[in-house]
Amino acid sequence: MPRLNVEKSMALHKEALKVLPAGVSSNARLWRRVCPIYTPCSLFVEKAVGSHIWDVDGNEYVDYRLGYGPVILGHSYPQVHDAVHSVDERGLVYAFSHELEIKVAKQIISLVPSVQMVRFANSGTEATMHAIRVARAYTGKEKIVKFEGHYHGAHDYLLFSTEPEFTDVQGDVPARASPASLGIPTAIRELVIVQRWNDFPGLEETLRKHGDEIAAIITEPVMGNSSAIMPEKGYLEFLRKVCDEYNIVLIFDEVKTGFRLARGGGSGSLWGQG
């Protein structure tokens, strides 16, 4: 395969390093393999149309990333483009309510069987943070079960074992909560129980020991942050059942799967959809 010319991207990344930590606004943009000479590097985009994207060096790519999912209809898809622009002509930020909130909420409720009400958030991080707060308030309990390799955003409460070391996941080594970054208080680790996904007996044992302390189990319905690992047959139903049994709130984080996997998202399968 010919080596890509990414000189302009490399120059921009060098410049970015002066003003942005690691030269990027998200760690996921550090590309270690595309820029073999000057690593790490980040590709700088010139434009994107439909399913294609061009970098500042003129290389054209088929864009399988699509903004990690939300651009599922392609870049600048005419109906989406027109709808966004027709709204922005009437002002973008009001700090007041707007009728569209009701319309969109009703549409989401009609599409996703598990949803009765909607609270909008600005990011996935915020959404999962609020969800676990509600779970704690509802159950009066504090601990949260999360799964190894699942990512739920950048707040301290769930930033554990998102990319565990290989040595941590081999053989019989039990799953453990390892913080994904410096700066996460050890006190928070006490509130997080990391489990191995698809391990039925492992979770059952944890619930027998700690069920009365656990407020929520949070999961991606399909493990999208480690390629795409499917739940074992019956696993999502099993999570639903044990949560009911132990008075635990089950949180499906559908930041990646929502409206993409199926109309009702990953959780829709529990209600016979998707």
Ligand X SMILES: Cc1ncc(COP(=O)(O)O)c(C=O)c1O
Closest CA to 221 of 189, 260, 191: 260
CB of 3 to ligand X, least distance (A): 30
By CB under 6 A, residue 266 contacts ligand X: no
Interface characters, 150-189, with ligand X (x: CB under 6 A): -xxx------------------------------------
By CB under 6 A, residue 211 contacts ligand X: no
Residue number with CB closer to ligand X (147 or 151): 151
Interface characters, 232-261, with ligand X (x: CB under 6 A): ---------------------x-xx-----
**Applying CB under 6 A, which part among 118-126, 190-198, 200-208, 242-250 lies near ligand X?**
118-126
21 conformational bin, left if phi > 0, alpha if psi -120 to 50, beta if neither: beta
Residue number with CB closer to ligand X (63 or 253): 253
CB 236 within 8 A of CB 267: yes
By CB under 6 A, residue 25 contacts ligand X: no
CB 55 within 8 A of CB 46: yes
Residue number with CB closer to ligand X (44 or 252): 252
| Angle, vertex CA 86, rays to CA 77 and CA 112, nearest 5 | 65
Q: Which of residues 53-92 bind ligand X (CB under 6 A)?
A: 68
CB 239 within 8 A of CB 202: no
181: Cβ contacts below 8 Å, ≥ 6 apart = 159
Closest CA to 265 of 113, 89, 135, 146: 113
CB of 153 to ligand X, least distance (A): 4
Choice from 123, 200, 205, 234 touching ligand X (CB under 6 A): 123
d(CA 125, CA 147) in angstroms, rounded, equals 16
Binding site for ligand X (CB under 6 A): 68, 123-125, 128, 151-153, 220, 225, 253, 255-256
